[in-house]
Amino acid sequence: MIEHFVDPLRFVRYIEPFLGGGALFFRLGCAPAILADLNSDLIDTYRQVRDDPISLELSLRALEVNPGTFERMREARPEAPLEIATRFLYLNRTAFSGLYRLNRAGRFNVPYAGDRAMSTLWDRDLLTLASRALQGAKLVVSDFEPTLAEAGRGDIVYCDPTYTVSHDNNGFLRYNESIFSWADQVRLAKAARAASMRGAAILVSNAAHPDLNGLYPEASCLTVRRYCGLAADEKHRGSRTEYVFFIAPAPSDR
């Protein structure tokens, strides 16, 4: 749905400050791109995929999928890029629901779930295909604000911040405080507006919560349904409603 807003032939750069799994980026296959996320293990993994997917595949193939190996990977604190990427993808393919969650001490705390189609990474050539798509991408570990600050005329920016709707509307602000706070939402809206004033086109997908409308008074707002299979609690998985805000670029002076 969102890709209908985006014509890959008509922008200078594609910028995604909350990269996560990069669904839209991989769908569009756009270059040049700036792809950023606060999660350094995630960005290190993408760098490894971009620069040497073969070594990563060999390293993953060498690992058995069983609770013992999972525990060892979960406790590991690798520093070399290949090992960081191996651990990240191994946990992604064997942890419950593919969740990535750290406890307060910064330790990965999602339980073992067994093999979640690890072999599709090579059977369907996913690492090689992803590597190809990433060749024109600058991968950055960053908070979203400096990434948005890079956007200028002709760029398109897609922002997909983290939020939970696991609680009712009254709990939306409270339960998001530790994930992506209301102050972060305000900061995002301000940075998005500034980038649009410099000539970038901005898309922000967000919770369908009435308070968020007030942050984007100048935007067109589309209500969409999106599938979410990531919630820890089964009753929160499935299709959910989201807003997509589109802020058009300010016209140029010329």
Residues forming the site for ligand SAM (CB under 6 A) = 17-18, 20-23, 37-39, 143-144, 160-162, 180
Q: Distance between CA atoms of 46 and 198, rounded to whole angstroms?
A: 29
Peptide bond into 17 cis (omega under 30): no
**Least Å from the CB of residue 218 to ligand SAM:** 23
**Least Å from the CB of residue 84 to ligand SAM:** 15
Q: Distance between CA atoms of 90 and 73, rounded to whole angstroms?
A: 8
Q: Tokens in use for 144? A: 């979203």
Instruction: Check: CB of residue 156 under 8 Å from CB of residue 165.
Output: no
**Among residues 23 and 113, whose Cβ is nearest to ligand SAM?**
23
Instruction: Check: CB of residue 28 under 8 Å from CB of residue 16.
Output: no
List the beta bridge partners of residue 239. Answer: 227
**Least Å from the CB of residue 144 to ligand SAM:** 4
**Least Å from the CB of residue 13 to ligand SAM:** 17
**Among residues 231 and 250, whose Cβ is nearest to ligand SAM?**
231
Residue nearest to ligand SAM (CB): 20
**Least Å from the CB of residue 58 to ligand SAM:** 26
**Among residues 22 and 249, whose Cβ is nearest to ligand SAM?**
22
**Among residues 23 and 65, whose Cβ is nearest to ligand SAM?**
23
**Among residues 63 and 242, whose Cβ is nearest to ligand SAM?**
242
Instruction: Check: CB of residue 56 under 8 Å from CB of residue 86.
Output: yes
Q: Do strands 156-159 and 137-141 pair parallel, antiparallel, or not at all (unpaired)?
A: unpaired
